Structure 1
Amino acid sequence: MKEFSFKVPQNIVFGEGSIRKLPELLKESGCTNVLIISGPRLRKMGKVDEVAGYVKESGIGCDMFTDVEGNPSVDTVDKAAAKYREMKADGIVAFGGGSPMDVAKAVVLVAKYGGSITEYEGGDKVPGPVDTIIAIPTTAGTGSEVTTFSVITDHTRNYKLSVFSFDLLPKYAILDPELLTSMPASVAASCGIDAMIHALESYLSRAASPFSDAMAEKALELIGGNIRRFVANREDIEAASAMLTGSMFAGIAFSWARLGNVHAMSHPVSAFFDVPHGVANAILLPVIVEYNELADQGRYAKLYQFISEDHKIPEDFHASMLTEEILRLNKSLGIPAGLAEAGVTEDKIPEMAADAMKSGNILVNPRQSTLKDIEMLYHKAM
């Protein structure tokens, strides 16, 4: 067994109605003035105002920034950071999907240490601790409430940059399944598949360890057993709970094991064509799983068991059956059949492939990949 290490240094609270514990956690945090970062849909629904009410209940000052888009940009980070500095905030409540959390991590970084988020791209560039983040996910997808990454789109390069540091981990995560009940079916599907892919890729990663495997397997059990019923009925609290905790476990898994070609290739798709991250991942997944069959070391059968409807491994199982099952799952959830259906055009494939090769995830994909391989996979996914 190779060497590995891990830590889970966060405070995670799960339960129906657990958002009501926000005032208590804010007091524990020592914050005096916080910025709520969220998106326009949640603001329009009145959900952000509810969060603001809990903040005020704690006696702490607050303001809100709700202009976070689906693939948040450097410009959005700059605007949110300007507001953070202006109000002299000392903490953030990140409320929503992965996008507000990515922005929150970037804001506390640039607000404390200055410059642009582009200057911190990569790993080991964060100088030290940042202000408190309390993350409250309203989707079961990114697991960003427990990850060490901030992913921001730089439109000047049509590139999704990643910043990595354990200093960016939110101090608290509140997992309240009741917050998932108003998700549209399409969002539930794309986010749910994204969470499943986090677990699947970390499970197959060449950087996997017994710890990341444990997190990934539990995530796959929870997500594979509940994604269909959750997309069918988002008010199913039991299914929502399983998806939310599964997403969290998957986030912990890939924080330590990284991911693979799916994520390396999906980031350029989102950067060039603004395709939702989960949708891009879901379309690419069966193509990459088929490509990686050659490197399978017996884990495809276990993945099939987690993902299939009957959760059984057929006696005649062969690796290609996992790809077939993923295609069936995508179709049942309404995922587009190819990248062209999502608005992607082939003329950008050389540029997207070049950007994908810059990702560290390529290095831990179970099957080694060259630039020509990535271009071929993009064409196949069209």
Structure 2
Amino acid sequence: MAAHRKSRQRSLSGNTARTAATLALAGAATATAFDGTAHAAPQLTPAQVKAKVDKLYQEAETATQKYDGAKEKANATQRRLNTLHDQTARKQAKLNAAREALGSYAAAQYRDGGFSPAWQLALSRDPDRYLDGAAFAERAGARQASTVSLVRRQLREIEQLRGAARIDLSSLRSRQNELRRQKTTVTTKLDEARRLLARLTPVQRTEVTADAPVADHVSRSAVDVRVPLKASGSAAVNATAHGAPAGTNSRAAAAVAYAYTKLGSPYVWGATGPSAFDCSGLIQAAYRSAGVSLPRTTYAQINAGRRVSRAQLQPGDLVFFYSGISHVGIYVGNGKMIHAPNPSAPVRVAPIDQMPFAGATRVA
């Protein structure tokens, strides 16, 4: 009996040991997982983070341009809708006045009993006066017929205006939905980029978000005036341009000068200045300061002037990037541009070869 108990004890002891070992390993794995070391995502190198962030910024820029375009169209639709409402209100006021005039005429007819002219002549104590009055009434009747025709026409016009307003309202709602979709896309991409950058050390973040080294003081051959030049985060200094090339007009020079004054301004998607910009917003503001009206988006800006080749570039030309024409800068000479890069970089001078070149346009 004792031997039997001893044998069973050895068997249980072996099972217990194996079970304990299994539980210990599982517990260790679980604890390690909670500590975040066993199944942690592979650590990205700064170069990999840069590649991912650049892609996210490009996708966000594409969505930003779609947002800007939808916003521009939504604003135009809203203005058109407001105009239709104003026109409808004015025509409704005229219609109400015409209806009141018809109502007064109908009330007079009712008071006169609606007798035929023959009976009214027969019963009149002064036939001559009646005949004069009858001629006036006939003319008044013709005028009333004209008023009735006017009322009918006004009713048709008002219905047409209301129909156009219903179409515009439907279009406005569609564009507002598009705005919300693009806004969600932009914010999602930018949030993801921020999370990736947050994994880096401050030094690594600077390396990832910095453009290729460019001297703050660059040749400014397009500008023949003295304007303030701001390096990113530094105090403004004066820079004087020399030797404006032939063919560069004053509007292009003024647009370039404006862009220089905005160096260091933050990138904010959807912004058109005066203190923050997205890429196409900066271009639009620069040329607006020179008296030239440009469309809001990169897709429209590239068609706003005459196309020029890369070899023909002059200061003031618009330079576009990526196959989707999702980014734009203003050329300032010597292979460089001023642009609003992305939320991690302010308005700055950069080489045009740091992004895939898609085309250029001369608007002034």
TM-score range, shorter chain: under 0.3
Higher relative contact order (CA 8 A, sep 6+): 2
Which TM-score applies when normalising by structure 1?
Answer: 0.21
